[in-house]
Amino acid sequence: MPKPETLREHKHLRMFGQLLHNPNLWALNRKSAPGAFAVGLFVAWIPMPFQMVVAAAFAIFFNVNIPVSVALVWITNPLTMPVMFYGAYLLGAKILGHAPQEFAFEASWQWIEASLTTIGPAFLLGCLVLGVIFSATGYLLISNFWKYSIMFKWQKRKNK
C-alpha cells in the first residue's frame, strides 16, 4: 500500500487538500474496505481518463479507503480494456435489443464523436450495468470475507 503522504502529495490528488487528512481514508477496516472495493470496481468501468482521480473523489465522498479504491481502477489497463469494454458494448446492445455493429477503433476525436451516436448508447449502458454489478459484488464479497474472517478468529480464540 502506498503511504498516505505519497498519495497526498500526488500532483492529481493535491487538489483535495485538507480532505485527505481524514484518517478513515487511509485505514482498512470492516467499513472502509468493502466500500473501497465498491468504489474502485465501479470507477474501473467508467470509460474516461483520470479514473484514479475520480476514484479518489468518490472514496473521499463515501469515506472509504483511498489506496484500495485507486488501485482497483487499474483493473482496466491497456491489456484488459479492449475485452472489458467490448463485453460492455455487447451487454448494452443486448439490453437495448440492438444487433451488435461491427466497428474498428480509431484513436481520433472524429471517431469518438461519430461513435457516440452509433455504438455509444449501448457501450455506456453496458459500462454502467457492469459497474453496478461488479461494485455490488465486490462490496458483498469483501464484506462477507471480513465478517467470516472475524468469526473464524473468534472461533479459533474460543477453542484455545
pLDDT in tens, 96-123: 998 888 877 766 777 777 777 788 899 9
138 is in which domain, residue-wise? 4-159
Indicate the pTM of the whole model: 0.82
Q: Which of 129, 103, 133 is nearest to 116 (CA)?
A: 103
Q: How many domains does the chain have?
A: 1
Share of the chain above pLDDT 90, in %: 53
Cβ atoms of 145 and 110 closer than 8 Å: no
- Cell numbers for 136: 455490488
What's the Cα-to-Cα distance from 91 to each of 13, 107, 110, rounded to whole Å?
33, 23, 25
Least confident of 12-26, 53-67, 120-134, 137-151: 12-26
